[in-house]
Amino acid sequence: MSALTYEDVISKYEPVLGLEVHVELNTNSKMFCGCSTIFGAEPNTQTCPVCLAMPGALPVVNEKAIESTILIGLALNCSIAPFSRFARKNYFYPDMPKNFQISQYDEPICVNGYVDVEIETDEGPQSFRIEIERVHMEEDTGKSLHVGGSTGRIHGADYSLLDYNRAGIPLVEIVTKIVPGTGKYAPEVAKAYVAELRDILRALGVSDVKMEQGSLRCDANVSLRLIGSEVLGTRSETKNVNSLRSVERAIRGEMIRHAERLNKGEKVVQETRHFQEDTGLTRSGRSKEQAEDYRYFPEPDLVPVVPDAQWIEKLRAGLPERPSLRRKRLQEQWSVPDKEMAAMINADVLNIVEETVLLGADPTKARSWWLGEISRLANEKDVAITALAITAKDVAEIVSLVAQGELTDKLARQVVEGVIAGEGTPAQVISARGIKVVNDDSALMAAIESACAAQPETAQKVRDGHLPAAGALIGIVMKETKGQADAARVRELLLGHLGQSGN
Amino acid sequence: MIKNSAAEMSAALSSGATTSVALTQAHLDRISEVDGKVHAFLYVDTQGALEQAKKIDDARARGEKLGPLAGVPLALKDVLVQKDVPTTCGSKILEGWRPPYDSTVVTNLKSAGVVILGKTNMDEFAMGSSTENSAYGPTHNPWDLTRIPGGSGGGSSAALAAFEAPLAIGTDTGGSIRQPAAVTGTVGVKPTYGGVSRYGLVAFSSSLDQAGPCARTVLDTALLHEVIAGHDPKDSTSINAPVPQVVAAAKSGDVKGMKIGVVKELNGDGYQAGVRQRFEESLELLAKAGAEIVEVSAPNFEYALAAYYLIAPSECSSNLARFDAMRYGLRVGDTDGASAESVMNMTREVGFGREVKRRILLGTYALSSGYYDAYYGSAQKVRTLITQDFNKAFEKCDVMVSPTCPTTAFKIGEKADDPLAMYLNDIATIPVNMAGIGGMSLPSGVAPEDGLPVGFQIMSPVMQDQRMYSVGAALEAALLSKWGAPLLSQAPVLGGVA
């Protein structure tokens, strides 16, 4: 499609990035009112006079949102401002009820942080430091659905529907300083940065960080300059980048588009562009050449945010371990191969496996239960693993029973199934279902004798040294004991009984 | 009965001499009789008022303990929302809108058993000093129907002066309670900013707006003040502290040993002779009552008006952005194929009046990139200087005083085409809003040259509202014994009608 290859671009130009990530916080209520924030409700059912901007209604700050934002700032190595303020960003749009957004302008709550991200390069793993300029709080807008017209945009639509459920959901915006020096790795560094942010936010428990639902959204600013130049090129801002893969694709695509224009002697237009998931290309949004004047001023309906220093220190002390470091630590401690580690991260079972191990389970066994049988059952029911009725404690108990020989693997699977079915703890399931390994040799011997009596010809074959015939007899015994016997032990006793011990 | 004070009505209700239904009906009758001439009300809630009155009478009959104002009727400025009752803010753009919720002031009034008669006329979105900017026509001053009743809360004050209600709620951004009180011979108080919740007060200028009590006596005003004041978690700027003991102060009216600071800059040139004469006379009466009169200076007050006309329009340009035809109120130009933007434009073009548009434009300009520092930024600095002037002056005195307005009520239409002349009316009231302190206006007599009422302004420090009530009550008592009867009984037109 394009004449230029990526290699052509990076041999001549250096990309400079700037990333703005919007995160919807997972607070129970909205930023400035008590409305619910649950995703997917009927349109306009989660609204009130405040988030509909009824005349006279006033905002009140959600304390939990401030706490979450401070946590994010601390996790990103930011300074927390002792005094910060909300500001009004004024512009008209139908899905913004007040026609101004309460945001933060020149006095954000967190400033000057950084995140280190590691990617694989031609020279092995390499770390890049992404500097954070600011982390600030704001409210989300409602959603517009433009019906009719070809573009799904407001221009050309027949009519538009407005859903204000999202209006006022707490948003945190994380803005990087300019990111130079990533060269040809720019798309991968950007992707790694967003992935790292996602992991950090998830570990903090402050957001659902679901890019596909829009609870984590990335705007990618890209500009090019000739290698060796100190002057920044004109940037474009790509919105609508809704997956990690898209971050990479969008930046790569924009780098090529910019280079094509620059090579032809054309200027890059400073504008907002929209990423197209299907083509991997961007298309022009509104031009920013005439910058919109948002007429920011301090929000007079809210008092300044003055967080208590002791509170900040308490939050800092409670910060979770950084996800990337934790992953490395666990992988080493558990001696997990890279591929298995990746599988656990993808299945989102790292936390629960760790919890199970901390309760005494063997790491390999714990991992194989959560990643294997339990994941399979979760998929079958189409629910998250954490939504199942089985806990780390249950799995640790089951692993321990198997290790002690109290359960076979097959019986253990029945116990897991029972726990998930809501029949209680492993002990309750075992007792209710009458599950137990039959390891009483005399009971087994009786079953063996009766099996041999039932099939004398088969027994004779075994006596004659034809060992594969033993399988049929073992099968009868296992059936007789309802699968509760240890098959290995049955085989041992049977062969002894038929004079074949030692084989 | 309707000429009594709210305190007297309350006593009559307690003793069983009358019922709230009878009292409410008497006021509804009075409204029917005179409001065609005065036009104080935009909406009269006959049914709602009588139902509330009946509820209070029943509660009283059951022996329930009721607050001092239970069963007493009140007129509510149309800028405060009351559930299911039309609220227009004097603007076409909200015509027909019935709010889905109660403002905190209304919640407090309802729980105190106050009977809300209806919504009173005002300058559109509280922008004006004459009530001529109402989209629904002007209110007339009961003292002289050709004159303005002040503004923006002219409807509330006129209702009091015409005996259509014994109590009223106003809001004061630059003088909208005190100036109407002054020119109608009634009492009005702007409490300390944050003393009364702004939740449900349709915002003009958020950092200046304050709802407050209006009545015909200082004590009635205090009784109403205590009903509506107090911390509200729904308003982040509401002060979390006990309400000043204003009723006790109004009852004692003791000024012995109090230092009263006369603001040098709020007197003299530009003040009508009769206004100055009444002011001097009041000072003498206060001195006789045992107060010490001192002079204080506030050099930065001269910049207050200019700074106010940057801050208030700036905030208003943002606050009024929500009136966009999308969710409530007027919608114009919604024809097939019209874009949302053109509907917004046409609705705002048709729905807002000239003064509102003027201030939106002024504020939009003042907040623009490149002008912000010179205009909004400088105005905020002036605001700090004015606060400092007050703080310094209050080191020398307990309250500060001045005439409320430079002149008595002017003629309807006289200043309609001269916004600057109109703005100058608020020169003495604006500094109080800029500093967020308390201010009261009470009648100090009539100007000999035109026979129209003159207001006396008392200013008290933040959350020391009780001081202005002490001084106000002392002055009111001294004036009453001089006049022999309340000032309103001298009103020639409607005030004389029983």
Say which DSSP state A36 is in.
B
Domain check: are A181 and A198 in the same one?
yes
Going by pLDDT thresholds of 50, 70 and 90, the confidence category of residue A503 is: very low
Domain check: are A277 and A340 in the same one?
no
Domain check: are A93 and A142 in the same one?
yes
Say which DSSP state A285 is in.
E
Going by pLDDT thresholds of 50, 70 and 90, the confidence category of residue A154 is: low
Q: CA–CA separation, B326 vs B322, rounded Å? A: 9
Domain check: are A416 and A491 in the same one?
no
| Cβ contacts of A242 within 8 Å, gap of 6 or more | A211, A212, A214, A217, A275, A277
In B128-241, the DSSP E strands lie at: 167-171, 187-190, 211-215
Domain check: are A194 and A73 in the same one?
yes
Based on the residue annotation, tell me whether B157 is a catalytic residue of this protein. Answer: no
Going by pLDDT thresholds of 50, 70 and 90, the confidence category of residue B498 is: very low
- Highest mean pLDDT of the ranges A325-329, B299-303, B417-421: B299-303
Based on the residue annotation, tell me whether B460 is a catalytic residue of this protein. Answer: no
Which residues is A226 bridged to in the sheet?
A13
Going by pLDDT thresholds of 50, 70 and 90, the confidence category of residue A153 is: low
Domain check: are A108 and A174 in the same one?
yes
* DSSP-derived pairing of the beta strands A170-176 and A124-139: antiparallel
Handedness of CA A454, A457, A461, A464 (dihedral sign): positive
Closest CB from B234, B322, B367 relative to A295? B367
Structure tokens, A63? 């304390």
**Annotated active-site residue in B91, B134, B176, B460:** B176
pTM confidence score: 0.87
Q: What is the mean pLDDT of residues B385-409?
A: 98
Domain membership of residue A1 (yes or no) is no
Is the pLDDT higher at A71 or at A325?
A71
Residue A154 touches chain B, beta carbons under 8 Å: yes
Longest dimension (CA), chain A: 98
Q: What is the mean pLDDT of residues A268-272?
A: 91
Name the residue type at position B155: G
Whether B457 contacts B425, CB under 8 Å: no
Residue B179 touches chain A, beta carbons under 8 Å: no
Please give the C-alpha separations between residue B172 and each of B125, B167, B429, B438, in angstroms, as whole numbers: 12, 16, 9, 11
| Cβ contacts of A442 within 8 Å, gap of 6 or more | none
Residue with the two structure tokens 């249950």: A394
Residue A287: other Cβ atoms inside 10 A: 11
Q: CA–CA separation, B172 vs B446, rounded Å? A: 23
**Annotated active-site residue in B5, B10, B77, B314:** B77
Based on the residue annotation, tell me whether B314 is a catalytic residue of this protein. Answer: no
Specify the pLDDT at position A484: 78
Domain check: are A35 and A105 in the same one?
yes
Residue A54 touches chain B, beta carbons under 8 Å: yes
Average pLDDT for chain A: 91
Whichever domain contains A490, its CATH number is: 1.10.10
Domain membership of residue A315 (yes or no) is no
Domain membership of residue A251 (yes or no) is yes
Domain check: are A165 and A16 in the same one?
yes
Residue with the two structure tokens 């954490």: A386
Domains in chain B with CATH codes: 6-302+382-490 (3.90.1300.10)
Taking phi over 0 as left and psi of -120 to 50 as alpha, with beta for the rest, B131 belongs to left
Of B475, B288, B303, B297, the residue nearest B395 (C-alpha):
B297
Task: Please count the CA atoms within 13 angstroms of the CA of B198 that sit on its side-chain side.
Answer: 30
Q: Which of A155-159, A308-312, B103-107, B276-280 has the lowest mean pLDDT?
A: A155-159
pLDDT tens per residue, range A159-203: 889 999 999 999 999 999 999 999 999 999 999 999 999 999 999
Residue B317 touches chain A, beta carbons under 8 Å: yes
Whether B155 contacts B136, CB under 8 Å: no
Helix, strand, coil in percent for chain B, rounding step 5: 45, 15, 45
Domain membership of residue A316 (yes or no) is no
Domain check: are A254 and A342 in the same one?
no
Burial class (CB in 10 A: 0-12, 13-18, 19+), B418: exposed
pLDDT tens per residue, range B56-72: 999 999 999 999 999 99
Burial class (CB in 10 A: 0-12, 13-18, 19+), A279: exposed
A·B CB contacts under 8 A:
103
Task: Inform me whether the pLDDT recorded for A2 exceeds 80.
Answer: no
Domain check: are A353 and A409 in the same one?
yes
Structure tokens, A147? 């019906």
**Annotated active-site residue in B20, B152, B205, B402:** B152
Say which DSSP state B292 is in.
E
Domain termination site, one of A291, A310, A329: A310
Q: CA–CA separation, B4 vs B10, rounded Å? A: 10
Domain membership of residue A345 (yes or no) is yes
Whether A90 contacts A295, CB under 8 Å: yes
Domain termination site, one of A285, A310, A335: A310
Which range marks the domain in which residue A459 is found? 441-497
Residue B5: other Cβ atoms inside 10 A: 19
pLDDT tens per residue, range B432-479: 999 999 999 999 999 999 999 999 999 999 999 999 999 999 999 999
Residue B48: other Cβ atoms inside 10 A: 16
| Cβ contacts of A439 within 8 Å, gap of 6 or more | A405, A485, A486, A489
A92 contacts in chain B (CB < 8 Å): 321, 324, 341, 344
Domain termination site, one of A383, A401, A433: A433
Report the domain count for chain A: 3
Specify the pLDDT at position A288: 52
Specify the pLDDT at position A152: 65
Domain membership of residue A399 (yes or no) is yes
User: Hey, are the CB atoms on A54 and B99 less than 8 Å from each other?
Assistant: yes
Domain check: are A166 and A117 in the same one?
yes
Domain membership of residue A503 (yes or no) is no
Q: What is the mean pLDDT of residues A479-492?
A: 82
Domain check: are A426 and A448 in the same one?
no
User: Hey, are the CB atoms on B200 and A57 less than 8 Å from each other?
Assistant: yes
